[in-house]
Amino acid sequence: MSHRNKLKILNDPIYGFITIPDALIFDLIEHPYFQRLRRITQLGLTYLVYPGAYHTRFHHALGAMHLMGKAVRILRSKGHLITEEEEQAVNIAILLHDIGHGPFSHALENSIVPGIKHEKLSLEFMKALNQEFDGRLELAIQIFTNQYPKKFLHQLISSQLDMDRLDYLRRDCFYTGVSEGQVNSERLITMLNVADDQLVVDSKGIYSVEKFIVARRLMYWQVYLHKTVLSAEFLLIKILSRARAVYNEQMIIPSVLKRFIRENLPAEYSSLLPYYAQLDDYDIMSAIKEWQHHDDPVLSMLCKSLLKRKLLGAYISNTLPDHTLVQNIRECVASRYGIRHEDTAFLVFNEALTNNAYDPQRHRINLLYRDGSLQDIALAADQLNISALAQPVTKHFLFYPKECWPKG
């Protein structure tokens, strides 16, 4: 394929057009590893609550790369040197930052390959691609792993205001239709700057950053931690967990998934990559469609529940749910569905979830004033209590079959 044909433009409902900046990036996008992301939804099962939210990891990665292009232009226009090689490297790093995600994104993290985070897997993918592309991803990997001297480049990929967040908040908001979460990513990028080799925000951007933090928090409670979304996602986790428990050779499983259900996977990850690189949402959903007819009543019930969207109820409280309440529900479940008491934990369970909208421990947002001084947004905001937002909020979710909730 000629160079000419490789310079492509893609339609994006949000940004209008996304231009693929060069031939190497074009080839990375064409690679089956990256094409796999077309088959992995960005928001897992969120579409069961927000019927528009089918957008994929593939699309998000392209969007984040598009924003990276804007950020590089803005920072250069403010006098910060970014070489052509560095530009390509940050583009690659953001494009591939999530390539290690498994099916249904966050929902199944830890369920497919227990104990390994997707960032670690993304790095493995990058290394494999680096080998395949003759070391041309070296700089991207250095920046991704924060080993490159110019630290602000890494922060474009991972920080409070990285291109990942700026794209996913906007995109998730767009596809869910939760318009209150809208973030003007392009505007925020216009206000980015660099000081002391840190990514900072020009001081006049203070209200935009406040709005960003509030919008992000709103998206957490209305989308990411929406109780029905969580109910669906924990159902998915329980399904995989139950499938492992009842696994035998007769079980119908998509071939590529079988390996991950059957075996205790080695801690050493790289040998698994070729198999993992074939896994996507279709394997999981297809398995669930088969397992709804499985002999095990727990597995069958969990699968039907998901396919027919008869999800578990969720009860939210600020403290752990009452032990007696939980026991009563379990007994109901055991007798009503003929399930052994020990197995009721697949249908009645408690999860604690925490959100803090602004986490200065991990990543700070600094404002850059005209006199060159820096100040943490949490201190600078005159009125909006960002310190309050920095406090983590934990909520306890008790999930249970609706028929077994105590009456009255």
Instruction: Report 233-292 residues binding a second copy (CB under 8 A).
Output: 252, 254-256, 278, 282-283, 285-286, 289-290
- Provide the minimum distance between the beta carbon of 10 and a second copy in the complex, in angstroms, as a whole number: 6
Q: Could you say which residues in the range 157-176 bind a second copy, by CB under 8 A?
A: 174-176
Beta carbons within 8 Å of 188's beta carbon, 6+ residues apart: 161, 166, 201, 205, 208, 209, 212
Nearer residue to a second copy within complex by CB, 16 or 149: 16
Stretch that binds a second copy, among 34-42, 95-103, 113-121, 160-168 (CB under 8 A): 34-42
Beta carbon of residue 307, minimum distance to a second copy (angstroms, whole number): 7
Element (H, E) at 39: none
- Listing DSSP states for 128-149 in one string gives HHHHHTTTTTHHHHHHHTT-SS
Residue 102 in contact with residue 118, Cβ under 8 Å?
A: yes
Nearest-angstrom CA–CA distance, 403 and 408: 13
Task: Write down the residue that tokens 């604690």 correspond to.
Answer: 352
Is there a catalytic annotation at residue 3?
Answer: no
Is residue 384 part of the contact set for a second copy (CB under 8 A)?
yes
> For a second copy, which stretch binds (CB under 8 A), given 150-158, 230-238, 262-270, 306-314?
306-314
Distance in Å, CB of 164 to a second copy, minimum: 17
* Window 109 to 128, contacts with a second copy (CB under 8 A): none
Site for a second copy in 353-372 (CB under 8 A): 357
Cβ-count burial of 4 within 10 angstroms (0-12 exposed, 13-18 middle, 19+ buried)?
A: exposed
The two tokens of residue 218 are 């709103």
Catalytic residue among 118, 154, 226, 294: 118
* Residue 186 engages a second copy in binding (rule: CB under 8 A): yes
User: Cα dist. 4→1, 8, 26, 91, 149 in Å?
Assistant: 8, 9, 11, 20, 34
Q: Which is nearer to a second copy, 86 or 290 (CB)?
A: 290
Contact segment (CB under 8 A) with a second copy among 47-55, 263-271, 294-302, 344-352 equals: 47-55
The whole-angstrom separation of Cα 153 and Cα 151 is 5
Under the binding rule (CB under 8 A), the answer on residue 25 touching a second copy is no
Catalytic positions, written as ranges = 118
